[in-house]
Amino acid sequence: MKKQISLLIITTFFLTTLSAQKREVVEYKQSWDKQKVFWGFYLGLNKKDYKITYKTANSFISVTPSIGFNVGLIGDLRLHKNINLRLEPGLSSNTKTLAFTAISGGEKDSIRDVNATYLRIPLLLKFSTNRLHNMRPYVLAGLSYDYNFSSNQDNPDDNYNGEFRMKKNNFSYELGIGVDLYLPYFIFSPSIRGVFAINDELVRDNNPNSPWTGAVDYFGTRGVFIKFSFH
């Protein structure tokens, strides 16, 4: 009997404590999700590579990516309690080193450093779950227009003169997951995105049989972006 009473007391205490903990949860920014439009900014890191396909065998370009940065603004329009339309214009910078393994002649001919700074304008749909206390996971997807400030597309020189050329205007699609964390004074939203070029970004050399670009069928950016957003 004593054991049963003790068990009942312990169970009652546990349930009372659990109920008290639930009541003690303070939900911040309770009216935030009712806004039609809101603004914010983001900053973060990226690591970009290239997807390359070839017309012929025995042609291979080795890509060494590096860590770059991205920074920008956020404009968000609520379409539904769980769906938002989001515009995220910003700058993205990164450097890649290309090694043309089939070309001999030393670093001058076989190595190209590709420095690129892009103006990226993604238009995204954000699908959020219902809010769980002070967090709200989401997924997002959309398209982006990317303008390459570092493009040398109009340069008449090509790889025979040491110039590896990339196009100015490009398009990509973006997929990502993240979570909104509701804090007392702002909303912090970390996310991870995959970015994939749609169009071919390479400007071929003037010689169609160029050892640098002649065998390339497709050359497009792909990358991983980590973004930290603040609203």
Query: What domains are there in the chain, each with its CATH number?
Result: 28-230 (2.40.160.20)
pLDDT of residue 28: 82
Is the model's pLDDT at 30 over the cut of 50?
yes
The average pLDDT across 169-173 equals: 96
Is the model's pLDDT at 230 over the cut of 70?
yes
User: What does each C-alpha distance from 167 to 114, 172, 175, 183 come to in angstroms?
Assistant: 12, 13, 23, 42
pLDDT of residue 57: 76
pLDDT digits (tens, 9 = 90+) for 94-135: 999 999 887 876 667 788 888 889 999 999 999 999 988 889
Give the best-scoring range by mean pLDDT among 15-19, 131-135, 184-188, 195-199: 195-199
Stronger pLDDT, 149 or 32, i.e. the higher one: 149
Give the mean pLDDT of the chain: 86
